Chains A and B, each alone.
Chain A
Amino acid sequence: MERELQILWAAIVAYVLGGVLAIFGVALGRRRGHVVLGLLLAGLLLHALSLGLRWQRLDHGPFITLFEILSSNVWSLMLVYLIAYWRIPKIRPSAAIVMPVMFVLMGWLMLAHPGEGHFPPTYRTPWLFIHIGMAKVFLGATLVALGIAGIVLLRRYRLAVQRFASLPEDRRLDELAYRFMALALVFDTLMLITGAIWAQDAWGRYWAWDPLETWSFVTWLLLAFAIHLRLTYRPQPVRGAWMIVAVFVLAFLTFFGVPFVSESPHKGAI
């Protein structure tokens, strides 16, 4: 286990270096996109190695304990964000918003106990990977949207206007952020569907209003509400950005709050 943790630490160091460089790059106006990309990619590969070693040792994926859930989510969120960072260079300064969020998760991960948990029999199904995979893409898409929305919100302050001056105008960022919200809606829908299929087989019912199911459904509704609101009223980008923040906060609480306070058997499986 020690080697896994050492590699994880190395990954965190690479993430933090990449994140700090991205933040200072925005603050000082000296962007080093390729270096940041390289550091984040190095972190991702090291992290994948650490997760793989743990998986091999325990003979199950990182889906059980708080440590495993945080670790796998940090990895998947970084993967989704890295793809966006690589493919859409214009939004790279959003790393200044996204990485502090990731630092919070990484700090929490470092505090979590890395001990192993029991892999329940109901988790021995391909639906585990499908359901969790969809959930991770959903949260990743919401994180990218949050990063873009953050730029729109920070631009209201004089200090930040110049820092983000080279980015597209707010309307274009708003449109791009809502593309990621639409992507999030598709994967959130898939997550709910695959979760229902799994629940039917695991517990003999596809829906039982357990805390995680209910919060996930409310998150889906808020996401649908945000998209409909944008189409109905065409709000200013700033208001649209606040809506994205609200969706992200709810999704974050659903992912990292509800499973650990609920008493239902449906916990940790995200």
Chain B
Amino acid sequence: MIDPGEKDALTTGGPALPVLLRGVAALGSLKLTLTLLVVLVPAIVLAYNSEQWRSWPLALPLAGLAVNLLAALLSNPAFRRQTALIVFHLALVALLLLIAAGRMSYLKGTLEVTEGAWYEGGALTSTDAARWHAGDLDQVRFTNLGFTIDYAAGVRRGPTRNHVRWIDEHGRAREAVIGDQDPLVIEGYRFYTSFNKGFAPTFAFTPATGETIVGAVHLPSYPIHQYEQTREWALPGTHRKLWILLDFDETILDPAQPSAFRVPAEYQVIVRDDDRRWALHAGEAIDLPEGRLELAGLRTWMGYNVFYDWTLPWLAATAALAVLGLGWHFSAKFRRRAWDA
């Protein structure tokens, strides 16, 4: 955005100029800027249509624009005199570099935590991590202390309020209510509650030899899979697979009126092992060849999206700088002449 009248001799060229300077001037020309902006459009179309085209097709024209800008800075004194414009454009380059750095070190994933249980770092239900991700997910500890979600008539979800406790970097236990746009941030990892949540029949399994192990079965998300509250579950420490079904008659989320997510007051859990079938209420147990299995109760589980990108605060600051530069530039430029002149 340089006034044409202020174009430097370098951009128009001259026979006495060394070839290198002419090359830099050509690289920094506004014509090249326009060409690269046009080239960026098909790259965006590719990126929009396919995830696999979101790196090089975009990176090449963007890198070209960055080079174009730096060359313009070198070759065009008129450009260099416009501090605010330089701030805007350099901030754009910094944004590109930060986005690239973020893409090389991000982590995205999902996890599910049973009410009352701790997430103790490490494994996620699903993970998408960049090659150079180097965060300390193993150090993250937090527990889901339960959640409330109100529903409007028509089973329309209201805000999620999830009570969590975590251990901060000083080893102190802290508590907060997170949900929707208020994530839990630990070690740079941002944990967001998701619409994914449901019921978790909890069992205490006492092997024939050994100590009691408590485990929870995360049934499919509720209410999306309202009529599929069943899951296969491997008995802890064994190869035996059990089929678990939560059975209740209550209407939890009433389409006709406002309601709230809660565990049913009366329920039974059906456990099936091949051709054997048991209906358990809380506190009831069955004896299996591997040990004794007791239904401890019914809890809930919450699904979280986890996101890590160390560049986020830098991106926000750089973007703010960019827009300040742009506003400053235009403000100074337009102040020279009244709008209604």
Contact = CB atoms under 8 A, between A and B. Distances in A.
A and B, one complex?
A: yes
Interface of A: 87-90, 118, 120-122, 124-125, 127, 176, 179, 182-183, 185-186, 189-190, 193, 196-198, 200-202, 204-206, 209, 211, 214, 217-218, 221, 224-225, 227-229, 231-232, 234
Contacts of A200: 307, 312
Interface residues of B, number: 48
Interface string B36-74: 011011001001100000100000000000000000000
Contact of A221 (B41, B180, B305): B41
B44 A122 contact: no
Given A204-B190, A218-B41, A231 B3 contact: yes
A229 B182 CA distance: 42
B315 interface: yes
A234 B4 contact: yes
Contacts of A190: 323
Contacts, number: 104
Contact of A227 (B1, B322, B339): B1
Given A87-B339, A179-B339, A189 B192 contact: no
A122 B158 CA distance: 9
B275 interface: no
Interface stretch (B241-249, B264-272, B326-334): B326-334
6 contacts: A186-B330, A201-B182, A204-B183, A204-B306, A227-B1, A231-B2
A122 B180 contact: yes
Interface stretch (B27-35, B133-141, B285-293): B27-35
B339 A204 contact: no
A48 B108 CA distance: 43
B37 A232 contact: no
Interface string B155-171: 01111100000000000
Nearest to B316: A197
A87 B157 CA distance: 46
Nearest to B329: A182
Nearest to B327: A186
Contacts of A227: 1
B234 interface: no
Given A87-B340, A231-B3, 15 more contacts: A90-B340, A121-B157, A121-B158, A124-B180, A176-B339, A179-B339, A185-B326, A193-B316, A198-B181, A204-B305, A209-B48, A225-B34, A228-B34, A231-B1, A232-B4
B26 to A, nearest CB: 14
B319 interface: yes
Closest 7 CB pairs of A and B: A201-B181, A232-B30, A121-B159, A118-B156, A204-B305, A193-B319, A88-B340
A229 B339 CA distance: 22
B320 interface: yes
A232 B2 CA distance: 8
Nearest to B2: A231
Contacts of B54: 209
A211 B48 CA distance: 8
A229 B108 contact: no
Nearest to A175: B337
